[in-house]
Amino acid sequence: MAADKDISDKYGITHILNLGNYGKNHFPDTITYRNVMCDDNVDVKVLPKFPVSFKFIDEGRAKGCVFIHCNAGVSKAATLICILIYLSHLFISF
């Protein structure tokens, strides 16, 4: 999806958060990117990555639509989104 301009346009994606170590910024002229380096393994500490990620998501949501993904699409993006939803229900701002 992050590499498909037609889909990005269809869903109005204006920002992409790459959680990984080899994400490519395919459309830097039309989409704002934030690359947060994170390996895909169980030992990686994701908690320190949250503040910068949440800030980017908030800024992106204020201007459009944010797509969040990681290398394997299994854990980091889903974890970040779940924590973001949980914290927003507790009315915690970033």
Per-position pLDDT tens, the chain of length 94: 678 899 999 999 999 999 887 778 999 999 999 999 887 777 878 888 888 999 999 999 999 999 988 876 667 787 788 888 888 777 766 5
State the catalytic residue, choosing from 38, 65, 70, 82: 70
DSSP code, position 28: T
The residue whose two tokens read 């002229």 is 29
3-state helix, strand, coil in the chain (%, to 5): 40, 20, 40
pLDDT of residue 10: 94
Catalytic site residue 70? Answer: yes
> Model's pTM, two decimal places?
0.83
Q: Assign a CATH topology to domain 5-89.
A: Protein-Tyrosine Phosphatase; Chain A (3.90.190)
Three-state DSSP at 34 gives strand
13-45 burial: b if 16+ Cβ within 10 Å, else e = bbbbbbbbeebeeebeeebbbbebebebeeeee
DSSP code, position 4: -
Question: Tell me, what amino acid is at 4?
Answer: D
The domain segmentation of the chain, as residue ranges, is: 5-89
**Distance set, CA 37 to CA 10, 11, 20, 40, 51 (Å):** 27, 25, 5, 10, 13
